Structure 1
């Protein structure tokens, strides 16, 4: 994971810290609890502000560098990495906007530098429009703020966030409808259901969030946009950083599965031949397949991350490239973990096995936007044009 030159990941995620996080991951998963100790150590290490500029108290890292770090964190504890991802999405969006001369999310950067946790509240049950529509009502207030009422799902960091970035639909203003993006603090108007009991990624505690006239003050309302696809930099920032950092987490899982498979192949001995499984031609083929898939994941991450950092202009192809990046990373990671399970044999099927946990965790990737159907639709439209109306 040394794709970014002159950058030492251990400076921000030391080996000792990662081993402590890895050592807690199994208990977090088994207990279905939030990794509070991981968050405390990451906050103390300044990790919440890795994408915040130095002059605002952060590390001033690039998205390419953050991608490497998230791969590294995911190799220790995928659920912790995925939870932190959602905070980093907002600091990453703030960076994307600031790099393009827009300081609308400066308060996110300042808050992250002070240790605040920002959560991502976009997903809604049955809303396949995602960023381009919302079933949450956004009601304008006399002071320019908005009251949000609705239900958000998969709200990672649910027990610990300080500010929730979200969107809703304003249907009452003169220029309605308008999608409203803003941030609400944790108050009694926000209720978190204790309903996160899942197959994997249990430590994210991505619970359902109910909004009951949750107020975003005027200085925390960052956009009012027409519904539907929109070239606004905020939409691009959310989509690009979300897809990039998701792909990074699942790439990190793939690397850990590969490492565990290699260790297991060297440790297991065949009764039939008396040699380690690392000498078995079938096992060697599987390990090679895993390595071939993993090696292909790294350059695509770096190229896309650098393109965002350097403000490359891919025009209408941007969303296809980003959807494709996330889709390839997730499907490749799942194949790698599948192969690792077969290399390790029956012992990997026990819940005490790290590979068993990685196997369950990697499955979550297919449910994040862009899902396989959306990714293929986006790429097809980019290359073939829109579907003709019936």
Structure 2
């Protein structure tokens, strides 16, 4: 076997490659989609502001990724266990979705009821007719937990989101119509299931009332992608079925299924597999596999690279995929776009203007749109990069 490059030389080479890629990238411009004021101290009126809290000047209970539904913007208010619905460029919500007494808002905003739970990920189908909201369930009581041992906690005090870290709890998925009315729930086995998802990593909606969920199963941390159609389980793809390590891999390497993402039409999925040294956990290779969800269910390797900074971000509508690499100082994100067979297509560059620490999360949707959230000058903002 050829000798591996010294670590320092390897790092310099990777930096040179990244620098060259950035020079060849088309730079995207930020466009404000949404901007509303926030409150940093508890405000007793939920209609006023999105509630943000701080510990040691570090904000937490931040909204997750906003959801665009036609001309409406849905934003989670995790501190209050609500979803806020804004129309157009309005800074005041049109509706509040949640387990909330209308008297608490004094009639200022219409309250549409949802079962108790902390909202998490959200998704909407291409027709904007079905909306799906993860609802993290209150901690269960049982023989190992005395409900009287801990006093009830107000919604705004429930820990759920700190920076980019989620305090995962079992979740159901709420199914809403385009009037934001609850029409059903989705559990582990479908619409008729009361079994929650232990942990949810991805939630996507597709045409014809199809929804895909990347989650764990009870008693396991293995990642599983389940696709439901009309409320019935259509496919369930386990990480252990996607990639079967060789005997050498089992002996010398740690193999981890990092991510499984569906295509926009849910006809295929792409899985990201990390193969790491057992000694130092260094990346040996990151492998991307495409699995067809047609009758043959064939799985094919479409990409392999040993650069630990190239992270799988999303599938593309044409069957390709997107990789993302962040600059060490947090000033830029480079997106590499590839075609269905793993062929390189182009590079896109996001460069954050202004105060770097104000930018929170940058993400790609299945229809290949690029967004960032920002917390800046007392406002929560959503930007689209074009």
TM-score normalized with structure 1 length: 0.25
Q: Could you say which structure has the higher helix fraction?
A: 1
